[in-house]
Amino acid sequence: MANSTVRLSQKEQWRTILEGQKVHAKKEYSVNLKRRRKLLSQLKSMLMNHEEAWLEALRADLGKPSVEAYASELAVLYNEIDYVDKHLAKWMRPKRLTRLLPGGLEKVKIERQGYGTVLIISPWNYPLNLSLMPMIGAFAAGNSCFLKPSELARTTAQLLEELLSEYFTPEEVTVVQGDAFVAENLLKLPWDMIFFTGSKRVGTIVHQAAARHQIPIILELGGKNPCIVDATGVSPTTARRIVWGKFLNAGQTCIAPDTIYVHQSMYQPFLTMLREQIKLFYGMNPAKSSDYGRIAHPGHYNKLIGYLQEGTIWHGGRIDASQNYIEPTLLTDIPLNSELRQAEIFGPILPVIPYSDLDALMHQLEEGPDPLVTYMFSEDRTSIQQLKKTQRTGAISVNQVIRHAANPRIPFGGVGTSGFGRYHGQASIEAFSYEKVYYKEHSIFEMKNQYPPYRPHVLPILRKLRRWLF
């Protein structure tokens, strides 16, 4: 009974803060550009003033080396804030339309207005980046935020709560920590918008909750991202880029190359290139490398080691449950009915599969789940164009991995089973706001023929003049 009382009081507290955020967002919308830029500046200061603390938290949660943590979590946030701040005045500028009508003058102003208060539910794999990246867009568009960070990245979640409450008022940002029960109760509140990053399974639950209350939502889900390497794309550089993108954050990246499809004529040479790059990056024993991370939590570790049984370990395969450690691993001989061919791996296990016919491979991929990104390494323009035309995917990246998602100029998001909605840069302003239309007509004289009862001659006139009337 005591526990349920605490839970009830928490829900009432959240509701009170939420109502305050709604009032605040409406009031602050009229304060305009200066206020929004101040929030972005405070967010950047919070990151820069406590940089070492963020790096330590990410190391504690995921074993992230400092260079990797800075590049994939902090640097991308700095760049996003700088880019949005630089262009925000232009993006906020209202659109104005004026048109002469037969009976007068039509004036239209279209402004982007923030939804109000946004619930952000963030994941554990990039616990800082994926908590604050949507917050940047929400602030810039004129919203307040509730943040529910993942309980599986506890150190980062705790630091987010401490520092966000220090730099912002509850009406601007409130952090709520907790498990799935907490998230479930948060989803019952009347948010103006929800932004979720995580698994397809949980995303479905969040989507259903939002639909019950007609709440706009963006879903950023996982993706089983194929990486095609044709005969013209095989090189040590290709192997280097794939190994970096796959084993960054110990493979726990939603846009990591999930499975490699290599033309059979270059299959064995490319396997050797991949193995050599792994050794160059992490040494003969990656467990001792200061540049290689760990699996975030035991539940995910246990899931991943099950995948090691679904093929032949060509390289790697060593594990250590005490450290949630899985060595960078190359798998071959994957059966057609293997779960590994269907499920997103989200870890440091890389299936490498030969193919002989590109058309057949494209057809096979079309029948699978929609990827967040599809990669291709090739110098053959015909093959690249074929990929562009046939694949339904959130993005196509040719001869590079990961980097498109770090560019604030490029919209980021999935399609179908990998999610929907776009953010980053200007796309974030559009994601976290709606277009509000102000329409005014200055009439010189009234066109009485537009009103009933309609006379027989009105329809022929309407057909002739409709493009000038509407």
Catalytic residue IDs: 220, 254
HEC profile of the chain: CHHHHHHHHHHHHHHHHHHHHHHHHHHHHCCCHHHHHHHHHHHHHHHHHCHHHHHHHHHHHHCCCHHHHHHHHHHHHHHHHHHHHHHHHHHHCCEEEEEEECCEEEEEEEEEEECCEEEEECCCCCCCHHHHHHHHHHHHCCCEEEEECCCCCHHHHHHHHHHHHHHCCCCCEEECCCCHHHHHHHCCCCCCEEEEECCHHHHHHHHHHHHHCCCCEEEECCCCCEEEECCCCCCHHHHHHHHHHHHHHHHCCCCCCCEEEEEHHHHHHHHHHHHHHHHHHHCCCHHHCCCCCCCCCHHHHHHHHHHCCCCEEEECCCEEHHHCEECCEEEECCCCCCHHHCCCCCCCEEEEEEECCHHHHHHHHHCCCCCCCEEEECCCHHHHHHHHHHCCCCCEEECCCCHHHHCCCCCECCCHHHEECCECCHHHHHHCEEEEEEEEEEECCCCHHHCCCCCCCHHHHHHHHHHHHC
Of 172, 444, 175, 225, residue with least CA distance to 350: 225
Distance of CA 261 to the CA centre of its chain: 25
156 touches 50 (CB < 8 A): no
